[in-house]
Structure 1
């Protein structure tokens, strides 16, 4: 006797349906993800992505390789700390070198020791120059910086095209600094420290690419270990290069402390040396 087609299908469907019902009713395995979810990736899974690198893993190398300029400062309530931006054209700057941090673009230059352990940057007592500033906002700036950059700070630093340094103090103040490479970083090593005396007036000098060029008049001078001049200064000569960070004012004689770097890739028609101002040692207005 031949059965109808519907009777032939029933046995074939019964077994899969029974298995599906049993699977739905069995206790859930705690290690198995809920239906519709992908299994979690474990550390033992070879396909797992590598753990993210700590943001401060290279802070010890990153800090001295850059100048750090303040871009954002907020208190524990998230309010901008206006007192730290008394000089909008010259933000507060931190520089780290040889276990010391220096603070510039304030009324007085400040400096002190520091230690770095993991995510904690500890700043020691800061010493400062004693120059008076006519602008009361600049005078207050020193106190505001000293109050917020003191003791143990939580540090986070990221590298990349635009390095960033974030310091948070115990009171919840959050200071964000942006890094720009130092001259030593840009030129691939430390420079040679020299002193140049710059005369009060420039003089015409011949340059094939710059008509009517005016050159600084400079001569090299030397100081001993006590900061006293020693020997005879060199001859006055035309200075065809630029001194990074220095703007000459006619009628003013200056003694400059300069770091001189040797370029590895010398641009066309340029000197093999690069000159970067470290500080102005002496400054004098010269009457005509």
Structure 2
């Protein structure tokens, strides 16, 4: 019997369509060390926590589940990943000063009680941030740079976080939001160097401003890959994708890079 899971809501689609137009982060100072464009150009992973006297605080660094705590600043919002739930809040910068609003998040319960406690501690800790500074000599967003972010808290303690370029920084553009339906089964496709190659079969999906599905493009073989997405036989998916133009791609490669934003619709269409 066919089972269907759909998590597509009109508001989600509208937000995805609007995301194309959203750029940058909060307004901030113009100094090289406190330039908000650098802050929003990277994902920041917590590496070290120090108390007010400079002594390490190993318990403040997330080691649960093998994931590092990660902060992402964009659109005057900060998102926190690497926990049981995803947390989020507003933020503002003024030169080297920073303020973060009360954190809110999803309400999923996790069996790891230590991780849940750590999550609560993080949610209470971040609104006490008082200052920020970019370390490592980065003066502007650069995909090759390895900057560090120092967050200072009201009690004088600090976090040190390592920067990993966002996709927008890696590819040098904001990218294009699009929706692709992926068929449940792979199909044969021709490649001069790979015999018996099989590809995903995809078609574009269009929505109106209210998030109502309007139509489909033609089915075609998809020769590349979608970063963050793994195809499962017998499962049809509708994906929200960010498509980036690649500068100087190899002669045998696509001029686009496709990155999964989210799965908005998923359906098991076979018993496999």
Q: CA deviation at 1:74?
A: 4.1
Q: Distance in 1 between matches of 2:109 and 2:220?
A: 36
**How much has 1:174 moved relative to structure 2?**
2.5
- CA deviation after TM superposition for structure 1 residue 282, in Å: 2.7
CA distance, structure 1, for counterparts of residue 99 and residue 87 of structure 2: 16
Would you say 1:156 and 2:133 are equivalent positions? Answer: yes
User: Under a length normalisation based on structure 1, what TM-score does the superposition of the two structures give?
Assistant: 0.72
Structure having the larger proportion of residues in strand: 2
Which residue does 2:59 correspond to in 1?
81
2:70 corresponds in structure 1 to 93
Q: What is the Cα deviation at residue 241 of structure 1?
A: 1.1
- Closer/same/farther in 2, CA of residues 268 and 80 from structure 1, 3 Å limit: same
Counterpart residue number, 1:249 = 232
Match of 2:39 among 63, 66, 70: 63
Q: Any residues of structure 2 matched to 1:1-288 within 5 Å, and which? A: 57-76=33-52, 77-81=55-59, 84-88=62-66, 90-158=67-135, 159-160=137-138, 161-228=145-212, 230-288=213-271
Can you list the C-alpha shifts for 1:63-103, whole angstroms capped at 9, x where unaligned?
11111122223445523025622132x32221111211111
Match of 1:22?
A: none
Q: CA deviation at 1:144?
A: 2.5
Query: 1:240, CA displacement in angstroms?
Result: 0.7
Question: Within 2, Cα distance between the matches of 1:137 and 1:254?
Answer: 34
**Structure with max Cα Rg:** 1
Higher relative contact order (CA 8 A, sep 6+): 2
* Structure-2-length-normalised TM-score: 0.75
Q: CA deviation digits over 1:183-225, x for unaligned, max 9?
A: 2112221111101122333233222233333312222112333
* Displacement after TM superposition at 1:277 (Å): 1.6
Measured in 2, the distance between the counterparts of 1:210 and 1:173 equals 56
Aligned length: 233
Gapped regions of structure 1 (runs ≥ 5): 1-53
Deviations 1:93-149 (A, max 9, x none): 211112111112322222221111122221112232233334334433431221221
Distance 1:248 1:166, change over 3 A: farther
Structure 1 residue 251: deviation in Å? Answer: 3.5
Task: State the Cα RMSD in Å.
Answer: 2.4
Is the CA contact 1:102–1:110 (under 8 Å) kept in the aligned structure 2? yes
Q: Is the CA contact (8 Å cut-off) linking 1:83 and 1:137 kept in structure 2?
A: no
